[in-house]
Amino acid sequence: MVKKLFSLIILALLVIMLLPLMTDFAPFAELSRVAEKYVQKGPAEVGGQNLVTSVIVTYRGLDTLGEIAVLFIATAGIGFLLGKSSGKHKRSEASQLVNTGTAFLLPIILLFGVFIFLHGHLTPGGGFQGGVVIASGILLFVLANADSQISSNLLHWIEDLSGAFYVIIGLLGLILAGGFLDNSILPLGQFGKLISAGAIPLIYTLIGLKVGAELVGILNNMQRSQ
Amino acid sequence: MGFEPIKILYALGTIFIIFNVGMLIQGIVRKIGARVGKRYGIRFYQPYIDLIKNYVMRSNVTHGVMFYLGPVFRLTGGLGVFLFIPIIYGSQYFSNFAFAGDVVLVLYFIFFGSLGMALGAGEGGHPYSAIGVSRGLAQVTAAEIALVIAVIGVGIQYDTLSITEMVAAQQGGIANWTMVTNPLLTILAMLAFLGAMGRSPFDVVLAPQEIPIGPPTEYHSTFLGIMQTNRSIFPMAKTILFVNLFFGGATNWIVLILKIFIVYMWSVVVGVVFPRFRVDHSIRWWYKYALPLGIIAIIVTTLIAG
Amino acid sequence: MVSPIYIFIIALGIGFLLSLFDKAGRAVAMTIFYGALLAMAFISGQWLLHLLQGAEAEIITTAGFQPPFSINLKMGLLEAFFTFLINTLGFLAGIYLLPKFKSQKIYGMILFLMLIMGLNGLVMTGDMFNLFVFLEITSIATVSIIAIEKNLKSISAGFKYVIAGGIASAFYLIATIFLYRFTGVLNIAMMAETLNVASSQAVFLSVFILMIAVIVELKPFPANGWALDAYEAVDSGVVAVIASGTSAAMLFVFYKISPLLNNTLLLTAAGIGLATFTFSNLLALKQKNAKRLLGYSSIGQIGLIITAYALLVRAGYARNSEIVMLTTGGLFINHFLAKAGLFWLSGVVEKEKLEEWSTLRNNPILLFAFAVFVIALVGLPPFPGFFAKWQLVMTFANQGLFFWIGLILLGSFLEAIYLFRWLGKVLKSDLKAELKAKISQIFPILIYLLAILIGGGYLSRLINQGTSLSILYLPVLFIVFLFFIDFLPVAIKNTLVILVGSYYTYLIIPQLSGYRVMLGVIFLAGGVLLFIPGYFKRGKRTGFYPLAVMMYVGLAGLLISENTLQFFTSWELMTLGSYFLIIRGKKSEPHALSYMLFSIGGAFVMLFGFGILYYVNGNSMALSSLGNIESMAGIIYALLGIAFLTKMASIGLHIWLPGAYGEAEADVSPMLSAILSKAGMFGLLMLMAAIQTANLGSINLPYVLGWLGAITVFIGNLLAIYQEDAKRLLAYSSVGNLGYILFGLALMSHMGWLTSITYALNHFLFKALLFLAIGGVVYRVKTKNMYEMGGLIKKMPLSFVSVLIGIIALSGVPPLSGFAGKWLTYNAVLEKGWYLQGVIVIIGGLIAFLYCFRLIYAVFLGQLKDKHRQVKEAPVWFLIPQVILIGAIMLFSTYPAFILGPVGKMLNDILPENALIWENLDAYSIYGHWNGFLIMMITGGIFVIVFLWLYFLNRKAQKVKQFNIVYAAERPSRPELTHVGYNFFAHYKKALGSLSQPYVTKFWNTMADIFHSSAGFIRRIYTGDGQTYILHIIIFIVVVYFLTIGG
Amino acid sequence: MTNIFIGVLGVIMIAAALIAIYQKSLLSAIVAAGVISLLASIIYILLAAPDVAMTEAAIGSGLTTIVFLYALNKIRKIKADK
Amino acid sequence: MLLTIILGIILIVLGLWGMLSQKNIIKIIIGFSIMDTGIHLLILSIGYIKDRTAPIMNQAVQSAGQVIDPVPSALVLTAIVIGLAITALMLTYAVKLYEIKGSLEISDFKELKW
């Protein structure tokens, strides 16, 4: 109890400490120096409509690669931590509704995911969101077909190869264009079209696949391991 | 000053005189002691007889090299102390080998004999020898504290460590003696004298009642003779040192013998009056009383000299 | 030139594909894995070389845009250096973990590769948010790989780690976004250009949060319980990467964000660092678990580095200036290599308790590595930490940061306590288990061992300031050579050392002047002489020769050093060498420890003093500047004085000595007592010579030293008489004798110094003699208790003669040389007027008679014990130097003028009032006179005459049987009953009981208790509860913030 | 208008957070935490960041909750096995 | 937008409070995820500029004066994914801890201390 009271006091002090961030602070009125450039030059330099995507995939592409790595490490870490697969699972039978629903929904969900990451440079969304959608579709499938198991082999292949290709595309940027992860290895194309913004759709596809595979992998690991 | 061969002869002469003085004083003192105690006592020449008897007797016993050398060390120590003290002030015949060193030399040479003796007794293998030596050394080192302080005091007062110069500074009448000019120091010195002479209440060394046998038992006949020879020279040497340092020294033999006798008698008188200390009492006494007294004496002396 | 970006490409590409390669077989995956690590190391190494040759730093832009519009990486010299360190560490740690990788899932390798990549990213990235990403990569990879051991301890440690890391990065993120708001960029360098920390409170707070988040990642006290748990529980191979690699990267992050910090924040950081350093070292005192201990030490070291860096930058040094690099870089490299090495060793040992590490003794090379790492951590030469710490203290002193120096030295001292305690236990405690070291584990350790040696050698160039290199380095090379030939038998090594030592003596002595000649003879010629007994040993005597020579090289170095650094280095080398000599004794471990602690404590005090000197004297390291100090002279002299007094074991600082001297090996004790103790004397001589000319103001240092010396004489000698152990008796006697030397020096007069030097020379002669003789006896009778000996004169007559000569010389009884000292003392005392002190000194000298007699009596006289009837004379190799020493004593006694005359002349340069005049063999002072030759002749003459007289009278004396004594009318049957040896001076003890109480020991024990119990109390904050650790972090942040804005 | 809307959402979020902290049932707590994310994604839309809103809804609210539930499920299973 | 900043900070503190006050490890992780959400909200609020639209350049939106800052959005995207990774890892640890010791009380894991 004393400890809780003490924690409360400390948190109160923390709030007092953080007060200047609220009181002595003015929000942006104009774009920052960096953002200004992104907005003005971004469409021309990168070729994506969605500036957030341009920033994520190109300007701050290294962050994204790192982010993918984080997810990858977490997947590996969870696999490492939870040790060996036990192999046998008992899962309760899913209801008819889910089964039917899944059969109907799965292709749509997958398609939706692909749509999201392919249009990442044009509309909100991208590899991560698309990846999550794909992952959730697969999860649904797993829930529905209790007997089937996701081929971890396939997952691995998708996960590993998409990651490796991502790196290779980045490398191509270093060799062919201005630097690592430069998207202009492919022609920027016509602004606003699906096939535009250089390598961004390609990268986002790879990210989408990788993220999807990794997320499934995480859940799969948590589910199966013993 | 310096060494000349003829001085060896002078020294031998001095030794001869003082040896006899020592023998006689021993005898007389024992006689007086007996008379005070209402006994008849020995003949005053008894020490001579004892000595001759011991030298004549033969013992073929030795416990080892150090046992054999013990008395040699003892007598060398006694003679050495004596020889490093100038005896008669102003006399080139009776100044011994004082040119080899000063009062510090004498002070430290006193230990030469004690140490050798202790070693000899030690090799005798008798447990009581060891106990006796242990007590004796403890007692001597404690008593020496007062002596050292007294000597330093004299050194401070006369700004010299040379015995001859100390005596020189006291010439010209009793008023110049250290005894008069610095009574505190003299009191300290006379306490030290009691300790150095092993007289009661500081006579723990021999402590005949407690250690019935020990060095004197193991050492007999010739060995004892040599030690007796030493006993008539070593105490005289110490007494002469005190005479020189505190009582104006002496310019001729008569004065010297008189002063020796008086100083020597002091220890006898005190010894008759006071009972004996136990050895740890004795040590504590020196540290507790003599040392502070000495420090006061040194401070006083500094004031006098300064 | 391969672009540094390939480090990431390789790591990520291979990381992503590794599990696919694994499908082709583990061997394939492993080959590729190690190939990747090697390639990363190669790239950074190549850049390091390139940049070292003066190339420009490379800015790597990504996506073809310039910063701040895209993320950029930088490969400058420092980045190259750090990535090279991290990548080589990665490769070596990878090799170390090879068996685990082989048997575990492929994820282990992937995670490891990602971890190393993350660390590279932390170092190279120039973008604040990208740094966050790499932070998370590192943190998640670390947390995941912690699970390489799946026991409860490491899993719960991992959980605490991930939570704490999460909170730290949360704060980091908050700070990042606000800084983005204030500057409009995320590039750190540009942020620093545009940011004005003082412009508003929100800006200040943001920068503060950024800093504190980075610092929390660096494990500050007390918000570091999570890290300690991880250090304790995580697998050794992994924790080495965490402790060294992650710390390196995070330190570099701190370096990177430091341009954002203003002076207030730098001060805060420095304060946090110092608190961390001090407290973690304090708390480590109570630690019994080896890895946790290393954890405390790691955290402390990082704290120290933060403090050093922050304060130096605050003081105005450029972030990458040479000074900053030398200090923080040196400390860092030292920590990096040593800590990784030690953690790796922990994996080899596989034992938790400190003393169980003694299994390392099964493998001498690993033991050597362990010792080197520990010594490097303490900051002793010749390792990088030493030079860095030196430079740090000097630079801090230059800035007047004395308070900081004081605390840093305190922390270092605490660190030394537990590290040396550990070292001692490893060297001495019982050997129980076998050691199974795999080659994959040994290889990385050896590489780092080599690296730390090279690093030390590289930094040691600081020393070289005008002195010829050969004199400085050749001896060191000889030591190294001795390490290499350590497998040879004793006889060869001993001969070699004696020959080389003689030649070195011949080389050095002519280069010395003044009183240095005198000490040079004692140190070097004496040293060579005392190697002779070494022949008695059989076998290899592993480790003895290099370390003994190290001690002598240190001693010689003291004499020839011209600046404070050379002096200090030599001092530490000497200390280190002597520590290893002492600890060779059978029961000497606790004593060696206390020796080392007092020595190191003293050395740190000395370092402090040299620091102030450096400050006061306008950045001069010249030792000669000691004599013309403008201000603060008193405090400098006092500090240096304390340091030297420690080595001289003056009262209050003496408690290490009896055990150290007493328990050392037979031929080591004389080296220590006769020679090593004079090092302190040399220091004091130097100091006193300086005091002579300096303005001390109101502080009368010599007066204090005089009293101290006098009391030391008295107490040292008094305690000596109560000892039952012969060697301890001699040891206490050394305390007393060193007191005379101190007293003489403190007199600050020609006569006083002459006294002191006479004592020094004499003490060298007789104490070497006595320790050798007693050492020989102990070697034969196998006990050091005097009451168990007795009567040995019949079996060991030559040793007896040595002891006899020795004690006569010791006690100062004429005609031997000891008297010279006594005579000079009287004269010097009278001249100076220090009567009371003089009285105490002289009384102390009188007490010496007691133990002298006891020594010779209880050992050689009295009754021979039955079990000693077959004892032989001491080995001839002990006797040879004894004969030489006796000869020297006799010569010195008979012709003191030949030695003291020239010594007096040497002193004339410093103290011109020559109060002692030599006329041929006669010495005249203003008080008295003394002729050693005549005294010898007269005494000898009388002795011979009396002896002849006795012999004439009693020439047929026969030796009787042992028990032919009259003993209460009985014949004793057992020698034990009649040998009075035990508690010989009981009455003295009874009389002076209060003076013989071990007050000093009690005092130091109480001090130790206070430290230990406070450590025990404080460390209870680490409850082990993860939630408490979270609370600690938040408390830490809040409290530090309010302290920062409040003060 | 927007402010009021955000304010209302904020109050609900704080309430949800308190439920997430204090609700004894772990399942409810997890759901409450998911609700916070979901409401946050609505705010993101108001803050003109549809990309983030999508992500938060998908990952923060959706996937994170699923991961929580999986973990909870796993823990239950371990409990049952014991 | 100040309101959302305040909301963000409130969520952060509430999350911390959850981590400090709850003994159950799952609850602590929930607290962490609440704190994470707060931080995301905070970041995004910084990038918001009043009355502007999303940074998607099309016919309707052409100039720099019309859109919000895309950078914080990009950062939050990254942060969300990383947050998920950490949360998942924490949960895995929780599972593992439960598997070993059968407890979810954080105070039950005090094997390492001092």
d(CA B196, CA C802) in angstroms, rounded, equals 29
| Contact across the interface for D47 and E68, Cβ inside 8 Å | yes
* pLDDT > 60? residue B226: yes
Instruction: Give the closest residue to A25 by CA, choosing from C729, E9, C533.
Output: E9
Chain A touching partners, 3 or more CB pairs below 8 A: C, D, E
The interface pTM score, or ipTM, of the predicted complex is 0.88
Lowest-confidence pick of A73-82, C727-736, D13-22: A73-82
pLDDT of residue A88: 45
- State the best of C846, C978, C992 to mutate against chain B, taking most chain B CBs within 10 Å: C846
- Looking at residue C33, its pLDDT comes to 95
More confident residue, A176 or B52: B52
What is the predicted pLDDT for the residue at C766?
94
Q: What is the mean pLDDT of residues D36-62?
A: 89
Q: In this predicted structure, what is the pLDDT of residue B248? A: 87
Give the whole-angstrom CA distance, residue A89 versus residue A150.
13
D74 interface with A at CB cutoff 8 Å:
yes
**DSSP states of chain A as a string?**
-HHHHHHHHHHHHHHHHHHHHHHS----SS--HHHHHHHHHHHHHT--SBHHHHIIIIITHHHHHHHHHHHHHHHHHHHHHH-SB------PPPPHHHHHHHHHHHHHHHHHHHHHHHTTTTSS--HHHHHHHHHHHHHHHHHH-SS----HHHHHHHHHHHHHHHHHHHHHHHHHSSSBT-GGGS--BSTTSSSBSTTHHHHHHHHHHHHHHHHHHHHHHHHHB-
Q: Check whether B144 has a pLDDT greater than 90.
A: no
C-beta atoms of D60 and E84 within 8 A: yes
* Residues from chain B contacting residue C988 (CB–CB below 8 Å): 138, 280, 283
* Per-residue pLDDT band at A86 (split at 50, 70, 90): very low
* Residues pairing with C563 in the sheet: C622
User: Would you list the domain boundaries of chain B?
Assistant: 6-305
Q: Which domain, by its residues, includes D35?
A: 2-81
Q: What is the mean pLDDT of residues E26-37?
A: 94
- Neighbours of E (≥3 Cβ pairs closer than 8 A)? A, C, D
Q: What is the pLDDT of residue C969?
A: 56
Residue ranges of domains in chain E, CATH in brackets = 2-108 (1.10.287.3510)
pLDDT band at A34 (very low <50, low <70, confident <90, very high): confident
- B2 pLDDT band, cuts 50/70/90, is low
Q: Amino acid letter at C397?
A: A
Residue pLDDT, tens place only, C960-982: 777 676 655 566 667 777 777 78
Inter-chain CB proximity A132 and D70 less than 8 Å: no
Distance CA(C55)–CA(C78), nearest Å, equals 13
Q: Among residues C137, A58, A125, C9, which one has the least CA distance to residue E82?
A: C137
Q: In this predicted structure, what is the pLDDT of residue A92?
A: 53
* Alpha carbon of C1007: minimum distance to chain B alpha carbons (Å): 32
Contact C419, C297 (CB under 8 A): yes
From C259's Cα to the closest Cα of chain A, the distance in A is 21
Domain count, chain D: 1
Sign of the alpha-carbon torsion through C879, C881, C884, C886: negative
pLDDT for residue A149 is more than 70: no
Instruction: Give the H or E element holding residue B71.
Output: helix B65-83
Q: How far is the C-alpha of B133 from the C-alpha of C996, rounded, in Å?
A: 22
Q: Give me A190's structure tokens.
A: 């016509």
Q: What is the rounded distance in angstroms from the CA atom of residue A84 to the CA atom of residue A87?
A: 9
Instruction: State which residues of chain C have pLDDT below 50.
Output: none
Residues 6+ apart with CB under 8 A from C42: none
- Whether the per-residue pLDDT at B241 is higher than 80: the answer is yes
Closest partner CB to D66 (pick from A53, A129, A219)? A219
Give residue E86's pLDDT band: very low, low, confident or very high (50, 70, 90). very high
Query: Does chain B reach chain A with at least 3 CB pairs under 8 Å?
Result: no
Q: What pLDDT was estimated at residue A36?
A: 84
E touches C (3+ CB pairs < 8 Å)?
Answer: yes
Nearest CA in chain A to C23: A153
Kindly tell me the burial class for residue C678, based on how many C-beta atoms sit within 10 Å of its own C-beta (0-12, 13-18, 19 or more): buried
- Cα gap C580→C588, rounded to integer Å: 10
Chain A residues close to D3, C-beta within 8 Å: none
| Residue-level pLDDT at A147 | 56
Determine the residue type at E110.
K
Which chain E residues touch C153 with a CB distance below 8 Å? 111-112
- C881 cis-preceded (ω within 30 degrees of 0): no
Give the strand order in the sheet containing C917-919. Answer: C917-919, C922-924, C929-930
CB contact under 8 A, D3 and E15: no
- Per mean pLDDT, which range of A212-221, B79-88, C395-404 is the poorest? A212-221
C-alpha B85, offset from chain centre: 12
Q: Report the residue from C822, C956, C962 with minimal CB separation from B125.
A: C962
Cis upstream peptide for D50 (omega within 30°):
no
Neighbours of B259 (CB within 10 A): 20
Q: Answer whether A81's CB lies under 8 Å from C108's CB.
A: no
Query: Measuring CA to CA, which residue among C537, C1028, C39 is closest to residue E112?
Result: C1028
> So what's the pLDDT on residue D19?
93
Cβ within 8 Å of residue C234, ≥6 positions away: C146, C148, C149, C154, C157, C158, C242
Chain D residues touching residue E7 (CB < 8 angstroms): 6, 10, 13-14, 43
Residues of chain E contacting C177 with CB distance shorter than 8 Å: 42-43, 46, 72, 75
Contact assessment for residue C885 and residue C776, using Cβ atoms and an 8 Å cutoff:
no
Chains touching chain B at 3 or more Cβ pairs under 8 angstroms?
A: C
Chains touching D (at least 3 CB pairs under 8 A) are A, E
Select from D3, D8, D21 the residue whose CB has the most chain E CBs within 10 Å, as the one to mutate to test that interface. Answer: D21
| pLDDT for residue A146 | 57
**C709 CA to centre of own chain:** 26
Nearest chain A CA: its distance from D57 CA (Å): 9
Q: For C159, which of E19, E23, E97 is closest by C-beta distance?
A: E97
Q: What pLDDT does residue C970 have?
A: 61
Q: Which pLDDT score is estimated for C511?
A: 86
CB-based contact, A139 to chain D, within 8 Å: yes
Q: Which of B126-130, C43-47, E33-37, E62-66 has the lowest mean pLDDT?
A: E62-66
Residue D49 Cα, gap to closest chain A Cα (Å): 8
- Residue B16: other Cβ atoms inside 10 A: 10
